[in-house]
Amino acid sequence: MGDTKEKLKSGFVTIIGRPNVGKSTMMNYLIGQKIAITSNKPQTTRNRIQTVYTDPERGQVVFLDTPGIHKAKNKLGEYMVNVAEHTLGEVDLILWLVEPSNFVGAGEQHIAEVLKKVKTPVILIINKIDMLEKKEQLLEYIDTYRKVYDFAEIIPACALRGQGMDDVLDTIFKYLPYGPMFYDADTITDQPERQIVAELIREKALHALSDEIPHGIAVMVDRMKDREYKNLVDIEATIVCERDSHKGIIIGKGGSMLKKIGTNARFEIERLLGCKVNLKLWVKVKKDWRDSDILLKNFGYREER
Ligand SMILES: Nc1nc2c(ncn2[C@@H]2O[C@H](COP(=O)(O)OP(=O)(O)OP(=O)(O)O)[C@@H](O)[C@H]2O)c(=O)[nH]1
Ligand SMILES: [Mg+2]
């Protein structure tokens, strides 16, 4: 047996699938930290989010959480799908997440077609198995998916409770090539702190608001400054929405909705930064920003190079 260092593996693993199947939940679980926001509303993730998992014995996995692949209805949607599909040829392994179902819809068929164009091995993860009515259904669903694509492996999982996650990690290391680590062992993500803060605010807005509005919001951190000699950070951020009526809903009666979003966000930002946070939120209307190239760029949704 040689030195363990010689046997370390490393590589890039992208997580793809339709919106809302649990991609970000799974990535957060695997790295043991909440970096990507999650919600029960589809199209939560908008950018590619890179995180790093380091196991001193086995090596390093660089995860790419991607936006859900869907039929785009505006330029933001096109950008999101482009981000997701762009990563496929460049990684060592693809994890394709689906919900347990016997029905392979147009969305899944589209993903299968895209995958047939790349040579990267694909692992199918049937997530949310806690939703199964009968255990036997699982075998049936595995059979259904086998006909859709020639998967390297198929793993049932429940990312929410961590079921199957050891299996997922073991399988990832099985397929990764030998090689040196790409990042320091203490690197967790490529996301700047400001970006994670903005995303946490967007997550709380997604959770608090009813269905129609969340898709049309963006959050920008305008200012983030340590207060000298105090364990306190002042943060000012703007929630951008598409209509005046939405602005009214986001602010709420007497400011109640904005207060709720702010309180919930502050709690998590304090946990992230490890200090007290003074959070001020503003709401602005930018009509149809999701179809404006300039505004999309301005809010950080830039084309991948
Ligand atoms: N019951 C159950 N729910 C889950 C499981 N994994 C994730 N979820 C829930 O599914 C919803 C979507 O999870 P996300 O992680 O945001 O899904 P996503 O695939 O990243 O979604 P997009 O970013 O919109 O593409 C959330 O409400 C999660 O709590 C699971 O194993 N079981
Ligand atoms: Mg996501």
Distance between CA atoms of residues 255 and 262, nearest Å: 11
Q: What is the pTM of this model?
A: 0.94
pLDDT for position 214: 78
Tell me what the mean pLDDT of segment 136-162 comes to. Answer: 95
Distance between CA atoms of residues 260 and 245, nearest Å: 19
Distance between CA atoms of residues 222 and 264, nearest Å: 19
Query: Measuring from atom 7 of ligand 1, which residue has the nearest CA?
Result: 22
Instruction: Give residue 42 CA to ligand 2 midpoint distance, Å.
Output: 8
pLDDT for position 228: 83
Distance between CA atoms of residues 297 and 282, nearest Å: 20
Distance between CA atoms of residues 256 and 201, nearest Å: 15
Q: Half-sphere exposure of residue 178, counting CA atoms within 13 Å on the CB side? A: 5
Contact criterion met (CB below 8 Å) for 249 and 257: yes
Does position 253 have pLDDT exceeding 90, yes or no?
yes
Domain 4-175: which CATH number of 3.20.20.70, 3.40.50.1970, 3.90.700.10, 3.40.50.300: 3.40.50.300
Domain 193-298 is classified in which CATH homologous superfamily?
A: K homology (KH) domain (3.30.300.20)
Backbone φ and ψ of 222, nearest 5°: -85, -30
Residue spans of the domains in the chain: they are 4-175, 193-298
Pocket of ligand 1 (CB under 6 A): 17, 19-25, 38-40, 42-45, 67-68, 127-128, 130-131, 158-160
pLDDT for position 189: 96
pLDDT tens, position by position, 66-119: 999 999 999 999 999 998 888 898 899 999 999 998 888 898 999 999 999 999
Does position 3 have pLDDT exceeding 60, yes or no?
no
pLDDT tens, position by position, 26-50: 999 999 999 999 999 999 999 999 9
Ligand 1 atom closest to Cα of 21?
19
Distance between CA atoms of residues 235 and 221, nearest Å: 7
